[in-house]
Amino acid sequence: MIRNNTRCYCEDGFEVKEDGRSCKDQDECSVYGTCSQTCINTHGSYACGCVEGYIMQPNNRSCKAKNEPTDRPPMLLIASSETIEVFYLNGSKMATLNSVNRNEIHTLDFIYKEEMICWVESRDTSNQLKCVQITKTEKLTDEWTINILQSFHNVEQMAIDWLTRNLYFVDHVSDRIFVCNFNGSVCVTLLDLDLHNPKAIAVDPIAG
């Protein structure tokens, strides 16, 4: 910045204040792309971090999925109206789960630590939340239903907080977002004002 033909500069990590003479901390985390995942601003600098399941790369900005010899290879989950398919990233299929009685599958999410897939499935009178375990032999087993106390008929989208295991749901007819604990015994409406025809939801567990 130039003031009375005098140009003021700041050290790295700082920027010139509005008075054109003094310096203030620069929030690098407010710039998109500074870190690939989490970012913590510090005085004159910043620090990047990675969420669970990822490791920091040598550039101290990018994160890469862990792939220890004992870890399961990365997977891709694809849900159609009647099936859930699990693929390896090389394109080979690991497993397929077919919906019972041709019930329609609306949405799914994955709990990384417990290697569990959960999805919302439509029934004649209501929707159901179901989960299945991925075994060490790479099979889908132990399917079970979680009974949600709240009305579930109009739920077609959900997201799982993998830190707390809380389940977040979108009701596009009642125009609300509600959250339940994992066994479905306690549910609380989070948003039901100024929400119009919501279609999807995502959860950022780190930022809360």
Question: Dihedral of CA 48/53/58/61: which sign?
Answer: negative
Asked whether the beta carbons of 175 and 195 are under 8 A apart, the reply is: yes
Task: Report the pLDDT value the prediction gives residue 100, as an integer from 0 to 100.
Answer: 65
Closest CA to 188 of 207, 162, 164: 164
Asked whether the beta carbons of 75 and 88 are under 8 A apart, the reply is: yes
Domain boundaries, the chain: 14-65, 75-191
Note down pLDDT in tens along the chain; length 208 residues.
555 677 888 998 899 988 888 999 999 999 999 999 999 999 999 999 998 878 999 999 999 887 766 667 788 999 888 889 999 888 898 888 887 666 788 889 998 778 889 998 887 777 888 999 888 777 888 888 888 877 788 888 999 998 888 999 999 888 999 999 998 889 999 998 888 888 899 998 877 8
Task: Report the pLDDT value the prediction gives residue 121, as an integer from 0 to 100.
Answer: 87
Task: Report the pLDDT value the prediction gives residue 127, as an integer from 0 to 100.
Answer: 82
What is the rounded distance in angstroms from the CA atom of residue 102 to the CA atom of residue 115?
Answer: 25
Third-level CATH fold of 75-191: Neuraminidase (2.120.10)
What is the rounded distance in angstroms from the CA atom of residue 134 to the CA atom of residue 166?
Answer: 20
Interior angle at CA 203, CA 158 and CA 42, nearest 5: 180
Helix (DSSP H) and strand (DSSP E) numbers for the chain: 0, 19
CATH 3.40.50.1000 is held by the domain 14-65:
no
Q: Which residues contact 168 (CB under 8 A, 6 or more apart)?
A: 158, 159, 160, 161, 177, 178, 179, 190, 201, 203
Asked whether the beta carbons of 26 and 37 are under 8 A apart, the reply is: no
Asked whether the beta carbons of 182 and 167 are under 8 A apart, the reply is: yes
